[in-house]
Amino acid sequence: MQKVIIVFLAACLAASAGAISGKIAAAKGTSVVWVEAISGKTFPAPAKPQLMDQKSLLFQPHVIAVQVGTTVEFLNSDKVQHNIFWPSISGNKKLGHNLGTWPTGEKRSFKFDTPGVVPLLCNVHPEMSGFVIVSPTPYFALTDAEGNYKISDVPNGSYTVSAWHEGAKVQSKPVSVNGDATQDFALSK
C-alpha cells in the first residue's frame, strides 16, 4: 500500500512541471530563450550577482542571460581602461545608460530591473560588443554550440517563449507545458 502511495505521489510531482526544450536555427553563436512574463506571478530577484568580464578587448562571455532584478558586476581585467554603455534596452532609448570608464582590476555593478536585450558597448574600443539578456522570469536558457536549449522545471501551464540571437529579430511562440514540451525557432534578420 505504502509503495502504491509513493508511486502515485511521484507521478503527481513528475506531472506538475516539465522542461521546455528545442533547437534554434540561427547564425553562429549563442542564442537565448526565455519564458515571457506570466500574469499573476512574480519571482524574487536572485541574490547572487552575475559577472561580465572585459578581457583581451572582448566582453567575456559575449552573451549572458539573467533574471530581471539581477545585479551584474562588470569587471575590467585588461591593462587598459574600458567603458561600458548601452544605447537602449530592446530599442527603448530612454533605458540607455553609461556606466562610465574604469581601470584594470575594478568593477562596477548595475541592477537590471527591466527585462529586455541590453547591447553592451565600450566607447574606448568601438569594436567591442556584448549582450545581457534580461529575462522576465527565472525560466531561461542559453543554447549550446549546436543551438539546442533546455529550460528545466517550468510549472505546467501555457506560456509565450521568446528567442533571441545577435542581429536577428526576437521571435515569440506559444508553448503549453504539461510535462515536457518542445518548441523550435528559426531566427533571421
Binding letters toward Cu ion, positions 56-75, x by CB under 5 A: --------------------
Q: Closest distance between Cu ion and the C-beta of residue 152, in Å?
A: 35
- For Cu ion, the closer of residues 117 and 122 by Cβ is 122
Q: Does 107 bind Cu ion (CB under 5 A)?
A: no
Among 62, 125, 150, 173, binds Cu ion (CB under 5 A): 125
Q: Closest distance between Cu ion and the C-beta of residue 128, in Å?
A: 5
CA distance 149 to 141: 6
Among 122, 151, 175, 187, binds Cu ion (CB under 5 A): 122
Cell 578587448, residue?
Answer: 57
Positions in the binding site for Cu ion (CB under 5 A)? 82, 122, 124-125, 128
